[in-house]
Chain A
Amino acid sequence: MQSTKSLLSYRKRNTAIAATVFLIPVFLFILIFIVYPIINSFWLSLHNWNGISSKKIFYGLENWKTLATDTVFYKSFLNNIIIVILSIAIQLPIAMALAFLLDTGGKKLNFLKMVYFLPMLMSSVAVGFLFKYTYDPQFGLISAVSTLFGGEGMVDLLGNPKVAIYAVITVICWQYIPFYMVYFLAAFSSLPEELYEASIIDGATYGQYFWKVALPCMKGTVKSAAVLSLVGSLKYFDLIYVMTQGGPNGATELMATYMYKNAFQTMQMSYGSTIASGMFLVITLISLLTLRALNGREEA
């Protein structure tokens, strides 16, 4: 009895040591590249610093006060919210439909699976350039198609402050639908085959199978896809940067592009850090609230 107990504790200790050893590198990585920068941005946000000077002037909450009254920041936050809503409303349903199609279509649709996934394989910068030319009012594809159908051509999308953001969101959706499609496809293939057979034998149509059987089984996947899309949209940067740089006249400015402009282009590193910290708080808060809302409903 005595010996088995000590063997057990010996093994436990051994496992603990091994676990610690394995975790240390990751822990250090997170500490240096994630925890330290976050704390440092908060620290910087309390200073006045241009990014090159050897002296940082302590500034108290001045930067935060500026941020609280910064209309550009609010405008960019609203733009982020537009992206969040439209991304979830457009990307997830289309991705789900494609995934369902590919799942029920069987092997003959394997080719389509590859084609649909292509946009995801391109780098964002390449996608941005591609659509910059597509949207060109004089020579672009969109204008050409509009002339074909009797329009007068010259469709100005990226240069028009009213529609520029939607033009970019279209591209974002084009790029990210494949990601969620694969995500849902994996969920579909993890549903047991029997479930499908049983539903069909019981006389369910494809539609009934999807709405009444498959979708409820994938609730968790849909939820985490929604959260992923939410967070991704809130911190979105790349296509906006490539296609409009926040313009025209701030119409497509996002929190991340605004942060980048301040930190690196206009040499206001401390204010850039303040925006980054503000983003951190806003995104964390929204994600937590969303999660609570989603999970609360699950328990009820």
Chain B
Amino acid sequence: MKKAISKALAAGMAIVMTLSIAACGSSTPAATSTSTAAASSAAPSSTAAESSAPAGEPVKLTFWHIQTTEPFPGLMEEWMKNFSAENPNYTVEVTAVQNDAFKQKLLISMSSNQSPDIFPHWSGGPMNQYADEGKIADLTTYMNENNYKDRFMTAAINQATYKDKIWAVPVENTSVAMFFYNKELFAKYNLQVPKTIKELEALCDTLKKNGIIPFSLANKTQWTGSMYYMYLADRFGGPEPFNAAAQRTGSFENEAFTQAGNKIQEWVKKDYFNKGFNGLDEDSGQSRTLLYSGKAAMTLMGSWFLSTVKGENQEFFDKNVGSFPFPAADDGKGDPNSVVGTVGDNFYSVSATSKDVAGAFKAITYLIDDKAVATRIENGRVPPVKGVKVTDPRLQDVLNAVEKAPYVQLWYDQYLPAEVAQVHKDTSQAIFGLAKTPEQVNKEMEAAAKKYFGK
């Protein structure tokens, strides 16, 4: 009996471990954070000296990034070495972090006021939250100096702006969601790229008749299905319904979202998507396998799809991959040239606790100077700077789509605060799973937004 109890105690200890996960990182003295914030906002006075030759005490900057696919880890190191070479009093400690681990790592470092001097994020809701909490430095003065910000696409600067201040530098990539399709299959069944949703549906029916799955989707990942939802909502109602709802001047119980949800459920019922999509994982490539094998014809995906396919299946990339923008709704309010995506992808911010905001900002500029831009393009990226020219015609298509777009809708799950974003991801998955009606989903979204914003 005693033995059993001691065993149970040991087991009890094991439970406790679950608790300890949630409790790490806490209690930061409020005084220090505000005082450092004050110190850093005083920093701009040193910018005047920025153009002059660097002199003074050695400064060590810490820099995290999440560019873990080759060749970027090496390039990041190289660009930071260039920075140190031209500014000898600076050394930069570069750390590459895996995407998934990064969010928790950053959260914990912030809660203990030990965030790195330079770190990336995706702008949108979380960036606004960092800014509100005084965790990131205001970069407006640096961005305005010599009109540096005019180097970037306007949509990119808009994404980095919150409350009329610029909080981050757009750097990594321009990714917008587009339809990617298998050209060979389209040619085989004599199909034309659709211009309207009606044409798209006719095309899907033809594919289905021939035993081909129209859309491949891996929606365990949730943001994948969300892309269909965002585009449909945009095509039916334009950008206003979402923006109004997210800024609490409107409501999520809007006709556009209902129409989008209904259209998705109609497509699901017609078997336009591969079976079991809600259990498949985009990150392990389960949707691309369907395309490579010729079982599915199209997928709606961010333009990073191009570089992923190039890395995974060069032959398929060369012969089969084509793209077209999301078609127009026949009676929708949305501009068919609008795109959903991000102009910048990763934005780099300087921590409010950084000892040298000016130096850290200068370091970031080396990630996106002319040399870096050229290298990024060589490696299949589209840096968010004006006048980019790329050689790959497929990448140029993406770029054209962005430049032509009257409006770039940032991914909902990055635009919304994390708490509401999670509700969006869960509910959009439920729409695909036919588990909830669009009306129910709108109500849930509205309730979540009300709870978060308090109105």
Contact = CB atoms under 8 A, between A and B. Distances in A.
- Tell me if chain B binds chain A: yes
Interface of A: 33-34, 36-38, 40-41, 44, 50-55, 129, 132-133, 135-139, 154-161, 164, 220, 223-224, 227-228, 231-232, 234-235, 237, 244-245, 247-250, 256, 259-261, 263-269, 272-273, 275-277, 279-280, 283-284, 287-288, 291, 294-295, 298-299
B418 A265 contact: yes
B439 interface: no
A218 B23 CA distance: 39
Contact of A34 (B1, B20, B111): B20
B38 interface: no
B399 to A, nearest CB: 32
Interface in B237-283: 274-281
Interface string B203-226: 000000000000000011010000
Nearest to B109: A52
A161 B429 CA distance: 11
Interface of B: 1, 3-5, 7-8, 11-26, 28-30, 33-34, 103-104, 107, 110-111, 113, 126, 129-130, 133-135, 219-220, 222, 274-281, 284, 286, 289-290, 293, 295, 417-419, 421-422, 426, 429-430, 433, 435-436
A237 B277 CA distance: 23
A277 B26 contact: no
B23 A227 contact: no
B4 A295 contact: yes
Contacts of A55: 30
Given A231-B11, A256-B18, A277-B19, A159 B422 contact: no
16 contacts: A37-B16, A44-B22, A51-B25, A54-B29, A54-B33, A138-B274, A161-B278, A227-B4, A235-B17, A237-B18, A256-B18, A265-B103, A267-B418, A277-B19, A284-B15, A288-B8
A44 B28 CA distance: 13
A141 B28 CA distance: 51
Given A264-B103, A280-B15, A249 B435 contact: yes
B113 to A, nearest CB: 8
B129 A161 contact: no
A49 to B, nearest CB: 8
Contact of A244 (B34, B220, B274): B220
Given A161-B435, A247-B220, A267-B419, A227 B279 contact: no
Given A245-B220, A256-B18, A295-B4, A38 B433 contact: no
Central interface residue in A136, A275, A279, by most chain B CB within 10 Å? A136
B20 A158 contact: no
A287 B12 contact: yes
